[in-house]
Amino acid sequence: MTMSTGDITNEDSSTVQSTERYAKLVIEINSQVALFRDLLICIGSVRDGPELREKIRKVRRQCVEACKHAAAILLPAIKNDVAEGIPVDNQNFVHLVSCTQLLARELRKCRRLVCAMPVDMTEYYENKPGPSGMGGLGILSQLLLCKSLQPDFHQEEICSLTKDLEDIENILRDMLEFMPKEDSDLRHLALTGEDVFSLWSKRRTRRSLYRNMSVFCCSCKPTYI
């Protein structure tokens, strides 16, 4: 069964729309990660406080969920292409991997900063639920147990950060399996500034030198005779 020109045009149009939608999603993730990084710079400064920490938490969660959503959309298509023998040539996927790597780095930084410079969030969350919803549980416990239960917001935030980092690292590990592998020789050339021709010339010169040395060894008369 052959496809008509109209069907091919519709398929191409759908592909373009999907590509644009994926590109917009990756750009949004990149902007969120950049905002997350900028907020982390303020930790320990005069701007630091409960309001900043809450904003950091919200932006962090948005970044993590956006990466999960994008990976759930792009990764299955990449797996299908690889299974059919099609090389990975999806710029949106490559950009998503880069953004995810940046997010993982910022999450590690955030966890170190939160551990090193904790902020008392008790007063801020007095009438609000905690980062993992412990506020509502605390009220219920107070009603049932007739005693006050103070949730540890600092420890909750560290646990939430650790969970987010594990999720992002797992997603990143899955995506890196389908990324093109870097040639070690080309990496060495990039670091040393050499080009392929100079490397080939060196190898050719080395082989010629060894060939000439073998001729010399054969023509020389042994000294032990």
pLDDT in tens, 123-172: 887 766 544 444 444 454 555 555 555 668 889 999 999 999 999 999 99
Which residues form the domain of 175?
A: 5-181
Same domain, 175 and 163: yes
Q: What pLDDT score does 153 carry? A: 85
The rounded distance, in Å, linking the Cα atoms of 29 and 26 is 5
Q: What is the mean pLDDT of the chain?
A: 77
pLDDT digits (tens, 9 = 90+) for 82-98: 888 877 788 999 999 99
Tally of domains in the chain: 2
Q: What pLDDT score does 127 carry? A: 64
Same domain, 80 and 169: yes
The rounded distance, in Å, linking the Cα atoms of 56 and 40 is 7
| Res. 184 pLDDT band, cuts 50 70 90 | low
Same domain, 165 and 196: no
The rounded distance, in Å, linking the Cα atoms of 100 and 171 is 8
Same domain, 123 and 220: no
Same domain, 70 and 153: yes
Q: What pLDDT score does 3 carry? A: 52
Q: Are 92 and 19 in contact (CB under 8 A)?
A: yes
3-state secondary structure the chain: CCCCHHHHHHHHHHHHHHHHHHHHHHHHHHHHHHHHHHHHHCCCCCCCCHHHHHHHHHHHHHHHHHHHHHHHHHHHHHHHHHHCCCCCCCHHHHHHHHHHHHHHHHHHHHHHHHHHCCCCCCCCCCCCCCCCCHHHHHHHHHHHHCCCCCCCHHHHHHHHHHHHHHHHHHHHHHHHCCCCCCCHHHHHHHHHCCCHHHHHHHHHHHHHHHHHHHHHHHHCCCCCC
The rounded distance, in Å, linking the Cα atoms of 192 and 186 is 10
Same domain, 109 and 64: yes
Same domain, 177 and 202: no
| Res. 217 pLDDT band, cuts 50 70 90 | very low
Taking alpha carbons only, the member of 17, 33, 20 closest to residue 66 is 33
Q: What pLDDT score does 213 carry? A: 47
